[in-house]
Amino acid sequence: MTSASGGAIATIDPSTEEVWTAVATADAADVDRAVAAARAAMDGAWGRRTSPSQRGALLARLADLVRRDARALAEIESRDNGKPLKDTLGEVQRAADWLTFFGGAADKLNGEQIPYSVDALAYTRHEPVGVVAAILPWNSPISLASWKLGPGLAAGNAMILKPSEYTPASMVALARLVEEAGFPAGVVNVLPGDGSVGALLAAHPGVDKMSFTGSQATATRIMQSAAASLKRCSFECGGKSPFIVFADADVGKAMAIALQSAFRSTGQSCSAASRIFVERPIYEAFARELAERAQRIRVGSPFDPASHIGPQTSAQQLAKTTDYIAIGLEGGSRLLAGGKRPAHLERGYYVEPTVFADTDNRSRLAQEEIFGPVTAVMPFDDEEEAIALANDTNYGLVGGLWTADVGRAHRVAARIESGLVSVNTFRPVHYMLPYGGYKMSGIGRENGFDAMKAFTEVKTVVVDLSTAPVADPFPL
Ligand code: NAD
């Protein structure tokens, strides 16, 4: 794969800090070429002559190819973003499941017949929006690409994928599988490059929709550029997810899931349990056990099967995480575990799983997304206070509560301001479950039929059936 300018991005293996591969980087000429190719596909074979069932069959074929090459794709992903191989393998398998689901959904999105008049036939059609630019972050490129490619292609759009400059390699490999699956030329385009490539897409008059996953700051910039041509926008942004443990909960289960939700993927997850609220009677014991168990998490090479978590994906992200650890210490939070580089790892962007207690929920540590293995444990005294603390944030992606009281479970679930609330589990993510944010965590939903509808325009068609003559509206 080459770019018009011949430029390339060197991508770094975060476990060694060494360049491991280079990927061609797009410039303005490549953006124009990709938009033109996507537009031609929409105006040609893909837009006009490919039935929903044929689109579904192509997605199913792509899913099979992703399964066939799962190991190779996972190795690329681990090399690029530093997640343990077993985690990236799971993500690649799930990406195939997403593509399979949306392949099956492609011919099941029906319009409606609306009986608004006896003298007319009225119906709706779900038509593709057109050319969609899908912009990805670095934490889970293949998985998040499948969240966009699945519904976007099932609904009949042409897609331009722009991976993060930190993790472009897996999208190049995926593009080869798209070709092998037999998608017509121009239906899926991959444009590696930095934010300037995303900005060109957001401003491009030939792009009809922006489907973005990344930070809230970038979403704001995209929305500003997209406003000029009133592009459709959907945004999946960050979170500062509350994890609320009442004293009557199954504390053992809550503890295990808290550890997993705070530290898996080295905390580089939009739904990480970064604010853990614990009811006062069990607060100190919970915080201490969480810290003890966090210290036992094995940090190491993504390719060592013994590693539980790997490095941060980039030097910039490591610097951000260590800055927030300093902010926590300066702000008076009590450090119970971690806080520094693991002594046994000399190279790589590693940091220890870090647990703070007694954090002020208004502090920067509790209000700003860190995207590293850092969590803050805070006490609460009653249900009202737990809800108030959980909602006291600009974010609203995921929330969870742990309790044995069924009435409280539903009361609190109804009042948490998040797109997904889980009770006695945390952040269940599935292709059938709508996922997305309230407040600054985003606009729109991914997954499920809601996601597919968001890649369509609804057209209403009304046909007059009457035989009565129409009187002259302006008789002389
Ligand atoms: P980011 O916003 O820095 O970058 C995301 C993408 O946007 C990259 O491809 C980048 O090159 C591109 N970009 C940068 N500037 C741009 C511009 N001006 N116009 C268009 N595109 C531009 O985010 P990141 O650091 O890559 O990812 C981490 C963020 O992603 C976190 O906030 C995390 O919570 C969020 N995230 C959200 C979800 C979700 O489903 N809600 C999932 C994963 C990650």
Q: Do 102 and 17 fall within a single domain?
A: yes
Q: Do 400 and 455 fall within a single domain?
A: no
Q: Do 212 and 86 fall within a single domain?
A: yes
Write out the two tokens for 255. 């503890």
366: exposed, middle or buried (C-beta count within 10 Å: 0-12, 13-18, 19+)? buried
CATH for 457: 3.40.605.10
Confidence at residue 1, expressed as pLDDT on a 0 to 100 scale: 64
Confidence at residue 318, expressed as pLDDT on a 0 to 100 scale: 98
Q: Which residues contact 90 (CB under 8 A, 6 or more apart)?
A: none
Query: Rounded to an integer, what distance in angstroms lies between the CA atom of residue 474 and that of residue 400?
Result: 64
Contact status, residue 225 vs residue 199, Cβ threshold 8 Å: yes
Q: Do 203 and 219 fall within a single domain?
A: yes
Q: Evaluate whether residue 358 is within a structural domain.
A: yes
Q: Do 29 and 58 fall within a single domain?
A: yes
Contact status, residue 351 vs residue 315, Cβ threshold 8 Å: no
Q: Evaluate whether residue 335 is within a structural domain.
A: yes
Distance 430 CA to ligand 1 centre (A): 21
Q: Is 21 helix (H, G, I), strand (E, B) or coil?
A: strand
Side-by-side strand order, sheet with 420-423 = 334-337, 354-357, 374-380, 275-279, 242-245, 398-402, 420-423
Q: Do 412 and 284 fall within a single domain?
A: yes
Q: Do 210 and 174 fall within a single domain?
A: yes
Q: How many CA atoms lie within 13 A of 438 on its CB side?
A: 18
Q: Do 450 and 398 fall within a single domain?
A: no
Contact status, residue 159 vs residue 153, Cβ threshold 8 Å: yes
How many other β-carbons are positioned within 10 Å of the β-carbon of residue 396?
25
pLDDT per residue rounded down to tens, the chain (476 residues): 677 778 899 999 999 999 999 999 999 999 999 999 999 999 999 998 999 999 999 999 999 999 999 999 999 999 999 999 999 999 999 999 999 999 999 999 999 999 999 999 999 999 999 999 999 999 999 999 999 999 999 999 999 999 999 999 999 999 999 999 999 999 999 999 999 999 999 999 999 999 999 999 999 999 999 999 999 999 999 999 999 999 999 999 999 999 999 999 999 999 999 999 999 999 999 999 999 999 999 999 999 999 999 999 999 999 999 999 999 999 999 999 999 999 999 999 999 999 999 999 999 999 999 999 999 999 999 999 999 999 999 999 999 999 999 999 999 999 999 999 999 999 999 999 999 999 999 999 999 998 999 999 999 999 999 999 999 999 99
Would you name the residues annotated as active-site residues?
A: 236
How many other β-carbons are positioned within 10 Å of the β-carbon of residue 281?
13
CB crowding 436-460: b at 16 or more within 10 Å, else e: bbbbbbbbbbbbbeebbebbbeeee
Q: What is the pTM of this model?
A: 0.96
CATH for 389: 3.40.309.10
Query: Rounded to an integer, what distance in angstroms lies between the CA atom of residue 79 and that of residue 13?
Result: 5
> Which residue blocks in 397-464 are alpha helix, DSSP H?
406-415, 448-454
Q: Do 192 and 104 fall within a single domain?
A: yes
Q: Evaluate whether residue 76 is within a structural domain.
A: yes
Pocket of ligand 1 (CB under 6 A): 135-139, 144, 162, 164-165, 194-195, 198-199, 202, 213-215, 218, 221-222, 236-239, 270, 369, 371, 397, 442
Q: What's the total number of domains in the chain? A: 2
Distance 259 CA to ligand 1 centre (A): 25
Q: Do 152 and 44 fall within a single domain?
A: yes
Q: Evaluate whether residue 474 is within a structural domain.
A: no
Q: Do 328 and 408 fall within a single domain?
A: yes
Q: Please report the atom of ligand 1 found closest to the CA of residue 137.
A: 26
Contact status, residue 416 vs residue 116, Cβ threshold 8 Å: no
Confidence at residue 243, expressed as pLDDT on a 0 to 100 scale: 98
Q: Evaluate whether residue 476 is within a structural domain.
A: no
Q: Do 232 and 250 fall within a single domain?
A: no
Ligand 1 pocket test: pick from 94, 213, 261 the residue with the most ligand atoms within 8 Å of its Cβ: 213
Residues spanned by the domain of 386: 242-423
Query: Rounded to an integer, what distance in angstroms lies between the CA atom of residue 379 and that of residue 286?
Result: 10
Q: Evaluate whether residue 351 is within a structural domain.
A: yes
Q: Summarize the chain as % helix, strand, coil (round to 5).
A: 40, 20, 40
Q: Evaluate whether residue 430 is within a structural domain.
A: no
Confidence at residue 3, expressed as pLDDT on a 0 to 100 scale: 76
Q: Evaluate whether residue 163 is within a structural domain.
A: yes
